[in-house]
A and B are shown apart, each in its own frame.
Chain A
Amino acid sequence: MLVIINAFKSISRSKGRNILIGIIVLAIAASSCIALAIRNAADDAEAVGLESVSITGTISVDRQKLIEENGGGGRGDMSQMRELMERYKDLELDELLIYSDSAYVKDFNYSSSTALNATGELKAYGSEDNADNDSDNVFVSPEGGMVARGGGPGGGGGGMRGGRAIMVGRALTIGDFTVTGYSSEEAMTKFMNSTASIKEGEMFDIASDDMTCLISDVLAYTNGLSVGDSIVLANPNYDSDDEDIDENGDDEDIANEDNAEDNAYGENAGEYTFTIVGIYTDTSSGEVNDMPMFSTAQDPANLICVSYPSLSAVIENSIENEITGTDDWGTETTTALTDTLSSSFIFADKGDYDSFTEELTAKGLSEYYVLTSSNLNNYESSVIPLRNLSAFATTMLFIILAIGAVILVVINVFNIRERKYEVGVLTAIGIKKGKVAMQFVTELLCVTLSAIIIGTVVGAVISVPVSNNLLATQIERAEDEALNQAQSFGRPGGGPISFDGGGGGGRVMSFSSFGGGENERISYLETVNASVNLMILAQLILIGIGLTLVSSLAAVIFVMRYEPLKILANRA
């Protein structure tokens, strides 16, 4: 009680000194409050954002590792490289389904794509513009990979299947339409993220092989199609054209030409009829119009969506009725359709994603396969400004606290030296040194806490605009870096466009066939909610107590050293 009464009396009677200390602590508190608010808000925004991101992952061959295994970045042994790529192909659906049976996997969906040609009056959108890009420049290798013939990238068909079906389609599939079969509605990402939506008709039965489909409004308009109409698509491997073959120097030995009439389908061999149950509109379809295309199948307008069972039925039918042969180069050919599988593991959060990565290794997945997540990577890129902001705020906080502590210690030392006489009198009348020291600490604590409360209010008001301005600066910096990088690759400063190694000796640009997709522009979080909450208040009070104790330590040491008689004798 004595300590508290004395402390309050001393505070009220020594206003000038306490106001000075108060102003310093207020400045420290306000700055710390801003720094803490920014740091917490940035961390929260990142955590909340990460929670809201549905993480999708894909298992694919780790080509980089294969290259490293083959002698690094230089020209390694190509035959050994082919051997490695042959051995480590993208996983089959059966294997993926086994891995998907995991407690960490929230959902697993997949889609498969193949290229089919138009028949009769049906025209693919843009087919007249791309008349030269006919299907005759393609044949199918017995390994299942489609290989561009005549001037295309050389090499085998490694990497044709698997998670990046779209890339393969873009790079090498030559056909009128891309027909994609989906295992579930979740696999239809463009519909899930509202880039595409059904504007007429209804969704096909995802579990049925009833050969119903969705077509784009552009394709419907081009061909005058409507819901309920049927379209007939053909296996491009049957669709041989003598003239074209002759032009390319091929002869009548080509397999499908000789064997087409012997096929069980007869005149309709390799033709598949789909019923249109819905017409969708795709807002992203315009985004790829400026991109160079190798076939009309690459155009999002020519995407035909079906159920996975329907597509499987088509593929299986083509396999059942395949006709094999040998081409001029002695390579075996087949009319069987091949599909490219795209699969996605869905995870509830990053923790599950990381755990699944470990589980895959434990389950014996080869080190040459890797689980990757483009949306996680994109998200992590998007929070770089937030992380920078958080790091900046943390650094600022430590600097403020260090400088603040030094200032307070110095002020306290001077303060105690000035109050030496008071210490002498108090101890001379029998007040213990510990109590005197406690009184000084209490005084400082009262002044500090009052200043912290005022400083918190000031900091709370200032922190929101300050944090958003700082974040804007960080975003601008990140965007400038991205722009500079884009310009380094000779691209206009748009979103990043990735390159990916192809299946041959060259490099193949990897575009999304349907626009957007994996290569979407990074959306930075532009505002943070830098509000002062109870947590920050508690942290500030802890900081205040910490600073008080540190600075009071000097006071306590001085008080304990003083002897009342010496002080009073010196004064006398």
Chain B
Amino acid sequence: MSILKLENISYSYDGREKVLDNINYVFEKGRVYAIVGRSGAGKTTLLSLLSGLTSPTDGRILFDEKDVKKVDRYKYRSRYVGVVFQQFNLLPHLNAVENVELSMRASGKKINDKRKQAFELLEKVNLDETLAKRRILKLSGGEQQRVAIARALSFNPDIILADEPTGNLDLSTQDEVMDIFKRLSHEENKCVIIVSHSPEVAAQADEVYELASLRKSKKKGTKNKKQV
């Protein structure tokens, strides 16, 4: 059963040229999805639509068969969807563990010993206690990315959306992160959707959706399933 479904989704900024046109994707729990495409193909826009940060111009997004447009999108974002942003979007005046805790509190879910769980999550993405207590701006790009991943996982969401989650990581850490996503998907029955242009990431996904750039070719987005 699909947890997330895109039905005839189109999107254009301010009514101008369409970035996405008639997209029909289905996402299920327990699988890792990769959305790939060239720069400007609308990958990040699609991620924004999936995370409820914006609404489609046409079509609808169904979460558990409910139109996302009609549900409380703040609640949707804070409880059901964990997002790893391309720019991380961490709060600089907080340290790593506080950023993770903040998401836990924002979810409104009852989470015991948030601090301890936050440290454990950071430990999972290879950030020790010393790094966990550092302010965000004192961490490297890769470390910030790992904090962003830990934050996305912090409130145990059903869906994990990641925008280039391995972009700033070395190959070994990339594999570690992908292992985490796969484990979450396969062992904890999460739906993991990764937006990336990396073939390595796409190779590890259960399914790949490729977005064609409308800006250049004017072609519709095509669905290209890849069974792993």
Residues of A in contact with B (beta carbons under 8 Å apart): 1-2, 5-6, 9-10, 13-14, 422, 424-432, 564-565, 568, 571-572
Contact = CB atoms under 8 A, between A and B. Distances in A.
Interface string B105-118: 11100000000000
Interface stretch (B63-71, B89-97, B172-180): B89-97
B91 A425 contact: yes
Contacts of A430: 74-79, 106-107
Which A-B residue pairs are the 10 nearest by beta carbons? A430-B78, A430-B77, A13-B93, A565-B53, A2-B105, A432-B74, A425-B89, A572-B87, A431-B106, A430-B74
A424 B87 CA distance: 12
Contact of B93 (A10, A429, A565): A10
A422 B105 contact: no
Contacts of B77: 428-430
A571 B91 CA distance: 13
A572 B87 CA distance: 7
B83 interface: yes
A441 to B, nearest CB: 18
B105 A565 contact: no
21 contacts: A1-B105, A6-B102, A9-B93, A9-B94, A9-B98, A10-B93, A13-B94, A422-B91, A424-B89, A425-B89, A425-B91, A428-B51, A428-B85, A428-B89, A429-B77, A429-B83, A429-B102, A429-B103, A430-B77, A430-B78, A564-B53
Nearest to A431: B106
Nearest to A10: B93
Give chain A's interface secondary structure class.
helix
B86 A572 contact: yes
A568 B91 CA distance: 12
Contacts of B168: none
B85 A568 contact: yes
B48 interface: yes
Contacts of A427: 74
Contacts of B151: 429
A428 B85 CA distance: 10
Contacts of B91: 422, 425-426
Contacts of B78: 429-431
Nearest to A5: B105
B106 A2 contact: yes
B39 interface: no
A428 B48 CA distance: 10
B2 interface: no
Nearest to A1: B105
A572 B163 CA distance: 13
A431 B74 contact: yes
B54 interface: yes
Nearest to B48: A565
A10 B105 CA distance: 15
Contacts of B75: 430
Interface in B34-81: 48, 51, 53-54, 74-79
Contact of A429 (B48, B98, B106): B106
Given A10-B93, A431-B74, A565-B48, 9 more contacts: A6-B102, A13-B94, A426-B106, A428-B85, A429-B77, A429-B102, A430-B76, A432-B74, A565-B53
Nearest to A3: B105
A425 B93 contact: no
A2 B91 CA distance: 15
From A5, A13, A422, A426, name the one whose CB has the most chain B CB atoms within 10 angstroms: A13
B98 A571 contact: no
A5 B104 CA distance: 13
B53 A428 contact: yes
Nearest to B81: A430
Contacts of B105: 1-2, 5
Nearest to B76: A430
From B98, B102, B151, name the one whose CB has the most chain A CB atoms within 10 angstroms: B102
B49 to A, nearest CB: 10
B48 to A, nearest CB: 6
Nearest to B154: A429
A124 B79 CA distance: 107
B94 A571 contact: no
Nearest to B52: A430
Contacts of A424: 89
Contacts of A564: 53
B83 A428 contact: yes
From A9, A427, A430, A572, name the one whose CB has the most chain B CB atoms within 10 angstroms: A430
A432 B72 CA distance: 10
From A427, A431, A568, name the one whose CB has the most chain B CB atoms within 10 angstroms: A431
B103 A568 contact: no
Nearest to B75: A430
Given A428-B53, A428-B77, A571 B93 contact: no
A9 B93 CA distance: 9
A425 B90 contact: yes
B54 A565 contact: yes
Nearest to A572: B87
B14 to A, nearest CB: 11
A41 B87 CA distance: 59
A428 B103 CA distance: 10
Contacts of B102: 6, 429
Contacts of B86: 572
A568 B89 contact: yes
Nearest to A419: B93
A429 to B, nearest CB: 5
From B51, B78, B91, name the one whose CB has the most chain A CB atoms within 10 angstroms: B91
B207 to A, nearest CB: 26
A214 B83 CA distance: 104
A10 B77 CA distance: 23
A5 B53 CA distance: 25
Contacts of B106: 2, 426, 429-431
Nearest to B152: A429
Contact of A14 (B48, B83, B93): B93
A424 B48 CA distance: 13
Contacts of A429: 77-78, 83, 102-103, 106, 151
Contacts of A565: 48, 53-54
Contacts of A10: 93
A425 B102 CA distance: 11
From A9, A426, A429, name the one whose CB has the most chain B CB atoms within 10 angstroms: A429
A422 B89 CA distance: 9
Contacts of A428: 51, 53, 77, 83, 85, 89
A571 B103 contact: no
A134 to B, nearest CB: 101
Contacts of B85: 428, 568
B62 to A, nearest CB: 19
A427 B54 CA distance: 12
Contacts of A422: 91, 93
A311 to B, nearest CB: 91
B214 to A, nearest CB: 18
A10 B83 CA distance: 23
A135 to B, nearest CB: 99
Contacts of B107: 430
A424 B86 CA distance: 14
From B77, B103, B106, B151, name the one whose CB has the most chain A CB atoms within 10 angstroms: B106
